[in-house]
Amino acid sequence: MWVLGRLRAGWRALTSMGTALVLLFLLALGAVPGALLPQRSLNESKVDGYLRENPVLGKVFDRLQLFDVFSSFWFTAIYALLFISLVGCLTPRIVEHMRSLRAVPVPVPRNLARLPKHAEVTLAGTPEQVAERISGGLRGWRRVTRDTGGGVVEISAEKGYLREFGNI
């Protein structure tokens, strides 16, 4: 049972946004030797020249795969962990975001005077005509029109359903 707890804790740690940021920083840091040292995949003769000029340091760099940075095991491990971390971090957020995109606006409150921005206006026309005019002015808003009976039409409108999409 404790194994399952440890696995769950490890998964939570791996899929946190903080871990993803650390892995992204490590990936950038790991790419620095690939930019500063000659790479075998680009120029084998420069790597051989570096190994001849610096036999001790060159041997250490070669064992650490610093001449093959972008195909090294440690660089591959960093970007594989980063990929897993991002997928695990974003999947629950995307699911929750999709749920909120399908949500309908909440019904109109009973007492509008409690709201900080409320106004009372008397308009000419039937409730259906007035509701149609108001709905036309709410383009770009997600709106629901409810006929509650007794000549009362409620319009609920909400904007900003895609605001969280930028965070994903």
CB atoms within 10 A of CB 94: 12
Print the domain residue range for 131.
112-160
Q: Are 24 and 87 within one domain?
A: yes
Q: Are 84 and 118 within one domain?
A: no
Residue 110 exposure: Cα atoms within 13 Å on the Cβ side: 0
pLDDT at 168: 65
Structure tokens at 27: 């990936």
Q: Are 122 and 96 within one domain?
A: no
Q: How far apart are CA 103 and CA 107, in angstroms?
A: 12
Q: How far apart are CA 155 and CA 143, in angstroms?
A: 7
pLDDT at 167: 67
State pTM to two decimals: 0.66
Structure tokens at 159: 């904007």
Type and span of the H or E element at 156 = strand 152-158
Type and span of the H or E element at 57 = helix 55-63
Q: Are 55 and 89 within one domain?
A: yes
Q: Are 82 and 130 within one domain?
A: no
pLDDT at 165: 72
Question: Is 167 within the bounds of a domain?
Answer: no
Domains contained in the chain, number = 2
Domain end, chosen from 58, 75, 102, is at 102
pLDDT at 89: 86
Question: Is 107 within the bounds of a domain?
Answer: no
Q: Are 6 and 52 within one domain?
A: yes
Question: Is 165 within the bounds of a domain?
Answer: no
pLDDT tens series, the chain, 168 aa: 788 889 888 888 888 889 999 999 999 999 999 999 999 999 999 999 999 999 999 999 999 999 999 999 999 999 999 999 999 988 888 888 888 888 788 787 788 888 888 877 778 888 788 888 888 888 878 888 888 777 778 888 888 777 777 666
pLDDT at 125: 82
Domain end, chosen from 102, 128, 150, is at 102
Q: Are 13 and 37 within one domain?
A: yes
Q: Are 9 and 43 within one domain?
A: yes
Question: Is 81 within the bounds of a domain?
Answer: yes
Question: Is 138 within the bounds of a domain?
Answer: yes
CB atoms within 10 A of CB 64: 13
Q: Are 17 and 93 within one domain?
A: yes
Q: How far apart are CA 141 and CA 135, in angstroms?
A: 9
